[in-house]
Amino acid sequence: MKLSEISKTLNGEFVGKDVEIVGISDLENKKENTIVYIENNKYLEEMENSLVSALLLPEGIISTKKPFISVKNGKEAFAKLLSIFEKYKNLNPKLKKSEIYDSVYME
């Protein structure tokens, strides 16, 4: 989904290159072609220099390095963003037995 399309859905202001977004990253797991929500300036520089392709930012914060969507209510917009990409989740996870521990994990 193009960043401009996401912006329209979130009623936000789109700034920068219209990149393709396929999912959401978080502050610890950063991947290409994803968007990450940043609530304040604390993580802005780190996310601008990461693999993520776009940022979701509250009004008043801007990025000079990454395309972004500026929104009035960041938490509300992030909740909508999660629902947009809900369909990309693996709804039929496979359980695998750990070879090291006496447990299972989802693949």
CA distance 90 to 107: 9
CA distance 36 to 32: 11
What percent of the chain has pLDDT above 70? 80
**3-class DSSP assignment, residue 77:** helix
Q: E-assigned strands of 1-107?
A: 13-15, 23-24, 34-37, 54-58, 68-71, 95-97, 104-106
pLDDT of residue 90: 44
> In this predicted model, what pLDDT tens digit does every residue of 8-23 receive, in sequence order?
999 999 999 999 999 9
> In this predicted model, what pLDDT tens digit does every residue of 48-84 receive, in sequence order?
999 999 999 999 999 999 999 999 999 999 999 988 8
Question: Taking the model in full, what pTM does it have?
Answer: 0.79
pLDDT above 50: residue 6: yes
CA distance 17 to 7: 12
